[in-house]
Amino acid sequence: MQQVVLITGGTSGIGRGLAEAFLAEGASVAVCGRSEPALDRFSRDHPEALAVRADVTVPEDRAALLEAITARFGRLDILINNAGTFVERDFAADDATLALDEEIDLNLTAPIELTGEVLRRWPALEAIVFVTSGFALVSPTRAPTYGAVKAGLHGFADGLRRQLAPRGTHVLELLPPTTDTPMNAGKTGPMMSPAEVAAVTLKALRHRRPMALPGQTRLMPAMLRLAPRTLGRMVAKL
């Protein structure tokens, strides 16, 4: 039986890479996003997928999204909470709390709420994926609130994994490194492609690992234990 997969923020970047990887494996895929042009491009490229305009921070949009999945596929097997934003904030120089609620809602509150709503509708879900970041383990100097919300999502995934283990629902956390996405446009230095990040993620799902650690992030848990100051200096330069 084909898996049915929902990917929030699935029209570009890592989300689109994941959507295309699942489609290549024969899965039925639904994506959502806020940009009509991006949704249109995705639908033209992948007419077999379901593309829904939805802002995951809006309860009514989340409900309509799940209704659309029910109408099209009848069920959901894998939820991938990918939608997010990166905001630089300098508390030493600016009024750094501008639009803070929006950042927290999109990066932390919405994926938690959507996860709860999905589980109420489909209690026997096969897997839930949370896209966090290496910054969930060591917060970036230029964006401390981003590190805070990703650390919060990391903690939620950790506790949820234990809660859902008796049901057999796999909870995976993806910690991508710097990836070649629109968010990193103009950034120099080595970057992984979304397709490479997706390949590591699907492998981690198949092996039911707690974390997918593509590229440089695979070293972070060990460095956090063995050389936390060195890791902090490295992150400070990112």
Catalytic residues: 146
Token duo for residue 112: 């938690």
Q: Are 213 and 201 in contact (CB under 8 A)?
A: no
Q: 153, 6, 14, 12: which is closest to 80 by C-alpha?
A: 6
- What DSSP string describes 44-109? HH-TTSEEEE--TTSHHHHHHHHHHHHHHHS--SEEEE---------TTTS-TTTTHHHHHIIIII
Give the DSSP H/E element, type plus range, for residue 29: strand 28-33
Q: Which residues sit opposite 81 in a β-bridge?
A: 130
- What DSSP string describes 106-153? IIIIHHHHHHHHHHHH-TT-SEEEEE--GGGTS--TT-HHHHHHHHHH
Q: Are 107 and 84 in contact (CB under 8 A)?
A: yes
CB-based contacts of 100: which residues, under 8 Å, 6+ apart? 145
